[in-house]
Amino acid sequence: MQLLRKFILILIVLWMILLLSGKFFRFALQHNPNLKTDYITSTSMKPDILFLGPCEAAWVMDPAKIDPITGLVSYNLAETHSDFADNYLHLYLYLKHNPPPHYLFLYITGESVDSRYNVFNTYQFTNFLSDSTVASVVRENDPAYYRWAKFPFMQYGYYNSKTVFQALEGFTDFLLDHRVPYKGLNGFIQPDIPKWRDHVTDFMRLYPRGTRFKWDPRRKKYLVKIIRLALKNHINIYLYESPVWNPSKTYILNRKEVMAQIRQLGAKYGIPYLVFDTLAMSNDRNNFVTNLYTSHAGGIIFDSVFAEYFNRYIKNSPYPGML
Amino acid sequence: MPLVSLQYLGFLLAIVILYYLLPRYQRLLLTAASLVFLGLGNLASGIAIIVLSLFNFQTGLSLFSAGREKRKTRIFIIAVLVNCLVILLFKYFESTPLGFYVKISSINYRLNHLVFLLGISFYSLQNIAYLTDVYQRRMNPVTSLPDFILYNAFFPKVFAGPIVLPGEFFNRGTQAIRFNSSNIAEGTQRILLGLVKKVVIADRLAPTAHSIFDFNESHPGATSLAAAYVFTVQLYFDFSGYTDMAIGACMLFGIPIKENFNLPFLARSVSEFWRRWHISLIDWLTKYLYYPVVFRLRNWKKWAAATGICITFIISGVWHGIGWTFLCWSICHMVFLLVELFTKMPRLRLAKKFSSFPYRAASILITFNLVSLSNIFFRATRIGDALRLFRQIFSGPFLPVKFLADFMAPLAIGGNREELFNYAVTITLTAAILFSEGFLYRYIRGERVKFGFILISLLLILYFGVLGHAEKFIYTQF
């Protein structure tokens, strides 16, 4: 009996510690400005342009370079390694706490529609599971996590390799009254890869005869959800692809086909797909750190090309016969 | 049913409760539970264990009743060959390109279950030990089939041992085991320690080893050497974590199982290392292979021991897997032990010249390095990968200046801080558990529930453990 009593006592103490830990993590994460989900829901923002997508958008679209040319304010809502479900929740949370922007640019390339690339990063939404929309997306994309999240603290403990650091960082920021993200106020994330990383060689080794992208139904479903959410909020949404290093295109056998399908999908909702794959910069490897991310030098070129393009074709007349 | 899962812990708890509620049917309950456990996870493994148990059980009886010595020897040799052939067949299939494809392919998950029979390498050795003991009249054959199936299939240890010798298992008597709070307290604490070792240390180290071993990229020597160290520590925590969980679960049933590890990184020689690492396998190899060989060649004196070492380690390599990597790994250890055997006297003289602490420290360091370097062969998927790492360690630039610069540069812009934090946590926890392990084993012994230990272990698992996507135990693949 004494043994049983001790085990029960341990369980009660553990339960209490976990409940308190859960509360601490919630508070600390809310005060971490480096988490875009927590930042956009706790800071009032009103940018004119929003960029959305995975790391190609997060690392390339720099508002500090684009805004001076367009004369507008932009915010980069893109998140590294994210898929469309992830992007959808980012946009949903943003719109729940902030007024809709005028323009939304969603990055999409062949890799975006294929489930082999990028993932749903559940740990970014640990603090928002009480929201039914977030909960249903999390349940669909990460059912194992969703089951565990019902236990005390497990909504944070399950992805502790991410949340422990983020909570400590948030708590430190709270103590120091630090509200500015390390990665900048405009959401742009400076690439962690500073120099050319020859992952095209890995790619060629993996797919010596080239590869074909396959449409994943779930990716398609969330892409449509993003488009509908934007249109419902009267946002001028554009699909776009930033420059791709030209020699790598040879290994994507159905690139043209997938691009045409993306264009078709956009057209169904009356939105254009902007593809910047004929720029001269795409031939120079110095403009890239991988086949899809531009280098610092490449980023300067593309951001200015993009801003000029925006001024000329989009700023005053959305959707000017681009379809 | 994965061992690191709530299902397993729930299953274990249910069986422990039933075990003490039904004292008359304890062995039958454990046999049935073990078969259910295996069958639920992998039906083919469950069937295989029954078939092989039946074969060896019947052979044991035949050996006992066989009149003539010649006939008895013939039965014994055939039965041992059958057991060896079963191991070899599965090991060989694994090493073929088709086997490798089936093993890694998620498409062929069902096929994977059919051809990779869990724990077969471990219980086949137990069966050979049983047949040998009956043949040599060290024990009478077992007359209860459920007991014999339990010997092979006992679920806490069926996947990766410890390998139990028949004398240790069958000489426990038949009386019911009574509830003992000391067993429950110690068993629970041992399982927790195993879980901490697995999910907090081994699984946190796994991605680092994976990033160096499994990608054909060039690294400076120090990085490749660090990968060898990391894998050695990962392997230890993974395997000893499994063993702690197995021993802890056996304790819950009041069944003592012998230790498989004894602080191996404190070994001062490779021979001492093998007395501290995977003890149950080495005990088996020593008793059923090394001693018979040395006894038969006893006139060769030192060369008898040398031949015994060579045969034992070649067999050990094949037992781990058929392929050049395991062969090279076993040859490495064979060479280390032969050098030790033939340099015993000069080494003793050297030890006398130096004060004991520096000599001991240097010996520990050299042993750890030798074991880690040989583990490059153990971990590498192909011999070419292993040779690439050796080339990087012993030729080319050694210091990872560029790697460190590339890693540190993004810190200034807010990048890599999370990775740095996680590295620091992993190194700190690994060092803390490695250095306090001896103390921890002593501390959790006895009947008292160590409140602080249980609480801290659970919190470590929840705060720092790799949950949800835990890696497979490495040795369950053998």
Chain B CA closest to residue A149? B468
CA distances from A205 to A198, A201, B216, B387 (A): 11, 6, 10, 20
pLDDT at position B272: 94
Tell me whether residues A14 and B417 touch, CB distance under 8 A.
Answer: no
Alpha helices in B297-416 (DSSP H): 302-320, 324-342, 344-353, 356-379, 383-394, 401-408
Least confident of A94-98, B34-38, B116-120, B307-311: B116-120
* Those residues with Cβ within 8 angstroms of residue B476's Cβ, 6 or more apart along the chain or in another chain: B118, B119, B159, B160, B242
d(CA B61, CA B80): 15
Peptide bond into A63 cis (omega under 30): no
DSSP letter at A110? Answer: G
Tell me whether residues B406 and A2 touch, CB distance under 8 A.
Answer: no
Whether residue B216 is predicted with pLDDT greater than 70 in this model: the reply is no
d(CA B83, CA B56): 9
Q: Which residues of A touch B464 (CB under 8 A)?
A: 160, 164
A14 touching B (Cβ < 8 Å): yes
Q: What is the average per-residue pLDDT within B364-368?
A: 95
Least confident of A155-169, A280-294, B270-284: A280-294
* Long-range contacts of the stretch B356-365 (C-beta < 8 A, 24+): B360/B268, B363/B268, B363/B269, B364/B265, B364/B266, B364/B267, B364/B268
Tell me whether residues A192 and B458 touch, CB distance under 8 A.
Answer: no
d(CA A153, CA A275): 44
Q: What is the average per-residue pLDDT within A229-233?
A: 94
pLDDT at position A289: 82
Whether residue A271 is predicted with pLDDT greater than 50 in this model: the reply is yes
Interface test with A, best of B192, B462, B464, B466 (most A CBs within 10 A): B462
Question: A318 CA to chain B: closest CA distance, Å?
Answer: 35
Q: What is the average per-residue pLDDT within B229-258?
A: 93
d(CA A174, CA A30): 9
Tell me whether residues B414 and A162 touch, CB distance under 8 A.
Answer: no
Tell me whether residues A158 and B415 touch, CB distance under 8 A.
Answer: no
Interface test with B, best of A161, A205, A293 (most B CBs within 10 A): A161
Q: Which residues of A touch B468 (CB under 8 A)?
A: 144-145, 148, 158-159
Strand order in the sheet with A74-76: A74-76, A49-52, A103-107, A236-241, A273-275
**Which burial class, exposed, middle or buried, applies to B27 when counting CB atoms under 10 A from its CB (0-12, 13-18, 19+)?**
middle
pLDDT at position A323: 46
Whether residue B135 is predicted with pLDDT greater than 50 in this model: the reply is yes
Helix (H) or strand (E) holding A49, with range, is strand A49-52
Tell me whether residues B467 and A9 touch, CB distance under 8 A.
Answer: no
Closest to B56 (Cα-Cα) out of B123, B127, B117: B127
Mean of the per-residue pLDDT values of chain A: 88
pTM, two decimals, is 0.86
A187 touching B (Cβ < 8 Å): no
Tell me whether residues B464 and A165 touch, CB distance under 8 A.
Answer: no
Q: Which residues pair with A293 in a beta bridge?
A: none
Q: What is the average per-residue pLDDT within A132-146?
A: 94
Question: A162 CA to chain B: closest CA distance, Å?
Answer: 7
Tell me whether residues B462 and A154 touch, CB distance under 8 A.
Answer: yes
Q: Which of residues 134-153 of A touch B (CB under 8 A)?
A: 144-145, 148, 153
Highest-confidence segment of A232-241, A295-304, B416-425: A232-241
Helix (H) or strand (E) holding B142, with range, is none
d(CA A197, CA A199): 6
pLDDT at position A174: 92
A34 touching B (Cβ < 8 Å): yes
Q: Which of B410, B425, B455 sits opposite A13 (nearest CB)?
A: B455
Whether residue B42 is predicted with pLDDT greater than 80 in this model: the reply is no
Would you give the distance in Å from CA B151 to the centre of its chain?
18
How many other β-carbons are positioned within 10 Å of the β-carbon of residue A116? 9
Q: What is the average per-residue pLDDT within A208-216?
A: 84
Q: What is the pLDDT of residues A41-72, one digit of tens each?
A: 988 889 999 999 998 898 889 999 999 999 99
Interface test with A, best of B179, B195, B218, B413 (most A CBs within 10 A): B413
Whether residue A67 contacts residue A74, with contact meaning beta carbons closer than 8 Å, is answered with yes
Interface test with B, best of A3, A34, A180, A293 (most B CBs within 10 A): A3
d(CA A104, CA A228): 12
Sign of CA dihedral B150, B155, B160, B161: negative
pLDDT at position B395: 83
* Long-range contacts of the stretch A281-287 (C-beta < 8 A, 24+): A281/A243, A281/A305, A282/A243, A282/A244, A282/A245, A282/A246, A283/A246, A285/A196, A285/A245, A286/A196, A287/A243, A287/A245
Q: What is the pLDDT of residues A238-257, one digit of tens each?
A: 999 999 888 888 888 888 89
3-class state of residue A46 by DSSP: coil
Q: Which of A10, A17, A144 sits opposite B454 (nearest CB)?
A: A10
Least confident of A2-6, A30-34, A36-40, B186-190: A2-6
Q: What is the average per-residue pLDDT within B296-320?
A: 89
Chain A / chain B CB contacts < 8 angstroms: 72
The pLDDT-based confidence of A163 (bands split at 50, 70, 90) is: very high
Tell me whether residues A194 and B455 touch, CB distance under 8 A.
Answer: no
3-class state of residue A292 by DSSP: coil
Q: Which residues pair with A238 in a beta bridge?
A: A105
CA distances from A227 to A79, A250, B419 (A): 18, 30, 34
The number of residues making up chain B comes to 478
3-class state of residue B429 by DSSP: helix
Q: What is the pLDDT of residues B141-186, one digit of tens each?
A: 988 899 999 999 999 988 887 999 988 888 777 778 888 888 888 8
Question: B425 CA to chain A: closest CA distance, Å?
Answer: 10
Whether residue A83 contacts residue A111, with contact meaning beta carbons closer than 8 Å, is answered with no
How many other β-carbons are positioned within 10 Å of the β-carbon of residue A323? 11
A173 touching B (Cβ < 8 Å): no
Q: What is the average per-residue pLDDT within B234-254?
A: 94
What does the radius of gyration of chain B's CA atoms come to, in whole angstroms? 23
d(CA B366, CA B343): 15
Question: B257 CA to chain A: closest CA distance, Å?
Answer: 23
Interface test with A, best of B184, B201, B467, B469 (most A CBs within 10 A): B467
Tell me whether residues B455 and A17 touch, CB distance under 8 A.
Answer: yes
Q: Which of A153, A158, A181 sits opposite B468 (nearest CB)?
A: A158
Interface test with A, best of B425, B463, B466, B469 (most A CBs within 10 A): B463
Whether residue A189 contacts residue A59, with contact meaning beta carbons closer than 8 Å, is answered with yes
**Which burial class, exposed, middle or buried, applies to A303 when counting CB atoms under 10 A from its CB (0-12, 13-18, 19+)?**
buried
Q: What is the pLDDT of residues B95-126, one digit of tens each?
A: 666 665 555 544 444 445 555 677 888 899 99
The pLDDT-based confidence of A128 (bands split at 50, 70, 90) is: very high
Q: What is the pLDDT of residues B252-282, one digit of tens each?
A: 999 888 899 999 999 999 999 999 999 999 9
Tell me whether residues A183 and B462 touch, CB distance under 8 A.
Answer: no
Q: Which residues of B touch A (CB under 8 A)?
A: 181, 184-185, 188, 204, 216, 406, 409-410, 413-418, 421-422, 425, 449, 451, 454-455, 458-459, 462-468
pLDDT at position B413: 64
pLDDT at position B106: 44
CA distances from B28 to B12, B19, B23 (A): 16, 10, 10
How many other β-carbons are positioned within 10 Å of the β-carbon of residue A280? 10
Would you give the distance in Å from CA A252 to the centre of its chain?
23
Closest to A83 (Cα-Cα) out of A184, A207, A218, A186: A218
Q: Dig out the tokens for B286 from the structure.
A: 């020593």
At residue A189, what are phi and psi to the nearest 5 degrees?
-110, 115
